[in-house]
Amino acid sequence: MCGATEGGLSLDGVNVAKEAVIQGQVLRSGDEPVANAYVRLLDRSGEFTAEVPTSATGHFRFFAGDGEWTLRTLAPKAQPVDTRVVAATGSVAEVQVLVSA
Amino acid sequence: MSRENSLVTAQWVEDNLDTDGVVLIEVDEDTTAYDKGHIRGAIKLDWTTDLQDQVRRDFVDKEQFEALLSERGVSNDDTVVLYGGNNNWFAAYAYWYFKLYGHSDVKLLDGGRKKWELDSRELTDELPTRAATSYTAQEQDSSIRAFRDEVVAAIGTQNLVDVRSPDEYAGRLLAPAHLPQEQAQRAGHIPTSVNVPWSKNANDDGTFKSDEELTKLYDEVGFDTDKDTIALCRIGERSSLTWFVLTELLGRKNVKNYDGSWTEYGSLVGVPVALGDEPGSADKVRA
């Protein structure tokens, strides 16, 4: 579907034109998907907005708003990782998060 | 109430997995999370199908709740320990719901499923079997549930706490940011309601903040402890968590959860709505 990076989460059923999608995958040791991580979406002031657990393949998705956001990723036996991302309505921001081994 | 009476730690749960009279129940926003793995012995309640009437927008009634818990094998004298994902938001909703129907001993697992998983504690896909019981519920406790007319009457007179994210409160988003945004209603908030996002009650790992931190959080927005309080969010589940904090952890009196919340209020004809980051005034309401 429109805007999805190859190998990313399917956008079937999502009206991308009306949403500011942030999505991606959490990986450990370079390429191992982390299925039991938690990704928190923080707004421009650092305030928590939403949180999702990763899927079996380490994927996650948010429907955000236009602007700058921070993803805070928590995974077992790893330090939290903060990742800045800019979202815009009508586009999909693909993010890859690497947590320590 | 207090922290000791209403919260248990992950370690306590692990130590009591085989204790008679302790029933673990997972209630998750993601109703499939349980099926992928759950704490050993835990049963599941699905907030969309088990706890909500399937025709009207309301909860299951007393008889349906009794039938549900009887069938799932929960007794009146069991210690019910609820847990779920996302800082326990739907588990807190279930906690409030169990209190609404008068269950005496109910607790939350502090940190919920997230804390359990981040601690690398064991999950299983084994389904427990529990013998059916004969559960008796009480009539709904109307002292903890607010309806729309009380909410409109509370503008400018009671503590109204809107626990949605700042962007939802201001009207920039209509739903939490991990859900699609299309909805047929107005954005914004109830004039004079203050915004204390529910997530501020919890640490990153999902456990509740200390009583001191929580007290400060509500003092800072000018909560008047002499006034009654109504908490709301979008559909009443995040505000259940705030209700839990105010009532069970901080011991505040006369706190109600407005489960109709913004999806009801934001669809009402003729009620005042404020946009932006400020609470707004009650003047226009009364004029």
Alpha helices in A33-92 (DSSP H): none
Average pLDDT over residues A71-88: 95
B85 touches chain A (CB under 8 A): yes
What DSSP line would sit under chain B, residue for residue? --HHHHEE-HHHHHHTTT-TTEEEEE--SSTTHHHH-B-TT-EE--TTTTSB-SSSSSB--HHHHHHHHHHHT--TTSEEEEE-STTTHHHHHHHHHHHHTT-SSEEEETTHHHHHHHTT---B-PPP--------PPPP-GGGB--HHHHHHHTTTSEEEE-S-HHHHHTS-SS-TTS----SS--SB-TT-EE--GGGGB-TTSPBPPHHHHHHHHHHTT--TTS-EEEE-SSSSHHHHHHHIIIIIS--SSEEE-SSHHHHHTT-SS---B-SSS---SHHHH-
Name residue, tokens 């059916």. Answer: B132
Q: Which residue type is seen at B89?
A: W
Cα(B282)–Cα(B118) distance, rounded to whole angstroms?
45
Cα(B217)–Cα(B229) distance, rounded to whole angstroms?
15
User: Which of chain A's residues have a Cβ under 8 Å away from the Cβ of B165?
Assistant: 43, 47-50
Average pLDDT over residues A52-62: 92
pTM of the model: 0.87
Q: What is the ipTM for the molecules in this complex? A: 0.73
Other residues' Cβ atoms within 10 Å of the Cβ of residue B37: 16
Cα(A27)–Cα(B95) distance, rounded to whole angstroms?
35
Question: What chain B residue is nearest to A61 in terms of C-alpha separation?
Answer: B178
Nearest CB among B118, B178, B197 relative to A76 is that of B118
Taking only the tens place, the pLDDT of each residue in B174-199 is: 887 777 655 657 999 999 999 999 99
pLDDT at B202: 95
* Domains of chain B, each with CATH number or no CATH: 3-140 (3.40.250.10), 144-286 (3.40.250.10)
Which of A63, A66, A74 to substitute to test the interface with B, most B CBs within 10 Å?
A63
pLDDT at A6: 43
Taking only the tens place, the pLDDT of each residue in B94-118 is: 999 999 999 999 999 999 999 999 9
Q: Are B155 and B285 spatial neighbours (Cβ–Cβ below 8 Å)?
A: yes
pLDDT at A3: 37
User: Which of chain A's residues have a Cβ under 8 Å away from the Cβ of B181?
Assistant: 18-19, 63
* Domains of chain A, each with CATH number or no CATH: 17-99 (2.60.40.10)
Taking only the tens place, the pLDDT of each residue in A17-50 is: 888 999 999 999 878 999 989 999 998 888 888 8
Name residue, tokens 């549930």. Answer: B145
Q: Which residues of B are catalytic?
A: 233
Question: What chain B residue is nearest to A15 in terms of C-alpha separation?
Answer: B180
Give residues 98 to 117 of B whose Cβ lies within 8 Å of A.
114, 117
Average pLDDT over residues B266-277: 93
Cα(B198)–Cα(B239) distance, rounded to whole angstroms?
7
Taking only the tens place, the pLDDT of each residue in B207-265 is: 999 999 999 999 999 989 899 999 999 999 999 999 999 999 999 999 999 999 999 99
Q: Which residue type is seen at B189?
A: H
Nearest CB among A41, A75, A80 relative to B177 is that of A41
Average of per-residue pLDDT values in chain B: 93
Cα(A62)–Cα(B180) distance, rounded to whole angstroms?
9
- Partnered with residue A26 across adjacent β-strands are A97
Taking only the tens place, the pLDDT of each residue in B113-151 is: 999 999 999 999 999 999 999 999 999 999 999 999 999
